[in-house]
């Protein structure tokens, strides 16, 4: 049994837009979600700018009941629930009766890097003060890695697989491919794929200490995240969540659902921390292998890809990524596909990045546009050596996209590449 | 403490946890937290913590196990307040 799989719902909580309408406008207009963070400055961070979604009280009260608002302090779970429920509703699905049976055909693979770091911090203080009895009931569900998928499953009444994957910055792309395989293999009819990442100095601190964050743009935050640029000087840490409702084509057609794109295939691999790959750096051979295997899995040629949505984090590694794309796709110069980097507007949303970028990818395919790259007016010479600058648009382009390749890479030397295709609906 | 005063105070405390709004509106000394108010059993520990905070008392494990309805809560709180 092999089902075709399509995307029928999207949800997003991004630093530059919460909810699909706001996010679409932001990415089309090249709006940055990077802001100066008082808290990071007070804590002596080198990088004092970040991408933090602005979730209004109105949205919170629309998605959460009084008890949840009282107890939820885990930003990643809050973002994941908002994005997940938006995707579910965007797909035209209703939320089942609280007293009815679970929906055996629907599940979720909703990833995260860590869960509830703020909640965990509160708990650590209480435990150390001998106040373990004052932790209450909400510590476990918010600090268990699978907290986000567990909360979503409860709200939606999911009865199929409910789990959380974790593979650093590959998490979001991986969640989509795991969900895709489950539907393709006939083990589920629909799966909510997504990933989230907390907004917190306790998440970002480790990256600041690793010296991978830029410290040069504290006074000009919107200029800070500069993928593909010669003046790129490190990531801007971000946060948020993205969610995509995946469904068998058969089920989607049966209920007349709006189809954003077809998931044609993909690949997940690792570089084994060999051949230049390390805990923090990718093995280029493995990256190329991942992309070529994804193309083969989807049954398409590299030269037929219209748009590449890169991982492109705004570090010195961007040129190497472009070289890997060029080799794997077998194209360069004017023949290189259009290329864009969402992180120029959102910063690096870490474990959520792949999902937020896949939401942007699906929107571009469905609506026929290519969002602009910002902060790359000074393209890196090693990038322009391989890609015609016209292929890296800095203004919004309205263009039909048939095939899109999206890749994410993560610490641990792990990779995932997804191939999406336009689905023509009458 | 006056029973009627306690009923009003405990009603405020359990309000976020109670799923049965009708039972919450008709709260009385015989109201059972789990069976009548449909409070999730995991949330009973939160109710106890909120009661402790409200009256500035400490409720022991054995007492907590008995605190399953409004009358039991009233008895425990009254006794703790007398000890103060």
Give the CATH number of the domain where residue B56 resides: 1.10.1200.10
Q: What is the CATH number of domain A265-421?
A: 3.40.47.10
pLDDT at A297: 98
| Each residue's pLDDT tens digit, A342-355 | 999 999 999 999 99
In this chain, the answer to whether the domains covering A5-254 and A265-421 adopt an identical fold is yes
Mean pLDDT throughout A347-372?
98
Q: What is the pLDDT of residue A425?
A: 85
Give residue B57's domain range: 3-83
Residue range A216-225: mean pLDDT, rounded = 98
Instruction: Round to whole Å and give the CA distance between A72 and B54.
Output: 21
User: Are B49 and A71 an interchain contact pair (Cβ–Cβ within 8 Å)?
Assistant: no
Does the pLDDT at position A370 exceed 90?
yes
- Cβ atoms of A350 and A113 within 8 Å: the answer is yes
Asked if A66 and B45 come within 8 Å (Cβ–Cβ), the reply is no
Query: How many structural domains does chain B have?
Result: 1
Query: Which of B34, B30, B5 lies closest to B17, judged by CA?
Result: B34
Predicted structure pTM score: 0.96
Which residue in chain A has the smallest CA separation from B47? A136
A206 membership: H or E segment, kind and range = helix A201-209
Chain A residues whose beta carbon lies within 8 Å of the beta carbon of residue B16: 66-67, 70
Tokens of A201: 């100095």
> A134 and B15: CB-CB below 8 Å?
no
Among B11, B12, B15, B17, the strongest candidate for a mutation testing the A interface, having the largest count of A CBs within 10 A, is: B17
Q: Where are the domains of chain A?
A: 5-254, 265-421
Helix/strand/coil for A208: helix
Alpha helices in chain B (DSSP H): 3-14, 21-25, 44-55, 61-66, 70-83
Q: Which residues of A390-418 are buried (b: 16+ CB within 10 A; e: fewer)?
A: ebbbbeebeeebebbbbbbbbbbbbbbbb
Element (H, E) at A140: helix A139-143
ipTM for this model: 0.88
- The DSSP result for A307-373, as a single string, is EEE----SSTTHHHHHHHHHHHHT--BTTSPEEE-THHHH-B-GGGHHHHHHHHHHHHHHHTEEPPP
Contact A67 B45 (CB under 8 A): no
A192/B30 Cα distance (integer angstroms): 44
The domain A5-254 is placed in CATH, from the list 3.40.47.10, 3.10.20.30, 3.30.1130.10, 3.40.50.300, at: 3.40.47.10
**In angstroms, how far is the first alpha carbon of chain B from the final one?**
14
Taking CB atoms and an 8 Å limit, are A67 and B42 in contact across chains?
Answer: no
> Can you give the pLDDT at residue A97?
77
């Amino acid at each position: 049994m092999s089902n075709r799989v399509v995307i029928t719902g999207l949800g997003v909580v991004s630093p530059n837009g919460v909810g699909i309408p706001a996010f679409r406008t932001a990415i089309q207009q090249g709006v940055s979600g990077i802001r100066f963070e008082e808290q990071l400055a007070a804590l002596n961070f080198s990088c004092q700018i970040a991408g933090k979604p602005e979730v209004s009280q109105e949205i919170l009260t629309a998605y959460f009941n009084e008890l949840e608002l009282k107890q939820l302090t885990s930003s990643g779970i809050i973002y994941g629930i908002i994005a997940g429920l938006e995707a579910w509703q965007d797909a035209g699905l209703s939320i089942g009766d609280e007293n009815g049976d679970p929906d055996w055909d629907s599940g979720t693979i909703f990833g995260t890097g860590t869960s509830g770091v703020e909640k965990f911090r509160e708990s650590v203080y209480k435990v150390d003060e001998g106040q373990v009895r004052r932790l209450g009931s909400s510590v476990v569900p918010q600090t268990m890695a699978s907290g986000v998928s567990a909360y979503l499953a409860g709200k939606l009444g999911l009865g199929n697989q409910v789990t959380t994957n974790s593979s650093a910055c590959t998490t979001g792309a991986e969640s989509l491919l795991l969900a895709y395989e489950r539907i393709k293999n006939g083990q589920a009819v629909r799966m909510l794929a997504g990933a989230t990442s907390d907004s917190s100095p306790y998440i970002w601190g480790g990256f600041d200490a690793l010296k991978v964050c830029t410290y040069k743009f504290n006074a000009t935050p919107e200029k800070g995240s500069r993928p593909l640029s010669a003046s790129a000087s490190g990531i801007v840490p971000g946060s948020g969540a993205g969610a995509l409702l995946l469904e068998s084509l058969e089920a989607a057609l049966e209920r007349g659902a709006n189809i954003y794109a077809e998931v044609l295939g993909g690949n997940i691999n690792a570089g084994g921390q060999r051949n230049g790959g390390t805990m923090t750096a990718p093995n280029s051979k493995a990256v190329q292998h991942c992309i070529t295997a994804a193309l083969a899995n989807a049954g398409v040629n590299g030269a037929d890809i219209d748009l590449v949505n890169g991982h492109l984090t705004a570090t010195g590694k961007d040129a190497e990524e472009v070289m890997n794309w060029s080799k794997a796709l077998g194209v360069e110069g004017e023949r290189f596909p259009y290329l864009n980097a969402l992180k120029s507007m959102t910063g690096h949303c870490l474990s959520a990045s792949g999902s937020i970028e896949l939401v942007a990818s699906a929107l571009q395919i469905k609506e026929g546009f290519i969002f602009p790259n910002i902060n790359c007016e000074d393209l890196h010479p090693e990038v322009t050596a391989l890609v015609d600058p016209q292929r890296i648009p800095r203004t919004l382009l309205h263009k039909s996209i048939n095939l899109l390749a999206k890749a994410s890479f993560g610490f641990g030397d792990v990779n995932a590449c997804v191939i999406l295709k336009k689905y023509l609906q009458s | 403490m006056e029973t009627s005063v306690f009923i009003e105070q405990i009603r405020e405390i359990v309000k976020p946890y109670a799923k049965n709004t009708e039972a919450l509106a008709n709260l009385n000394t015989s109201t059972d937290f789990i069976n009548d108010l449909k409070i999730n059993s995991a949330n009973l520990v939160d109710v106890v913590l909120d009661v402790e905070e409200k009256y500035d008392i400490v409720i022991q494990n054995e007492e907590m196990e008995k605190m399953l309805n409004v009358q039991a809560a009233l008895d425990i709180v009254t006794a703790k307040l007398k000890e103060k």
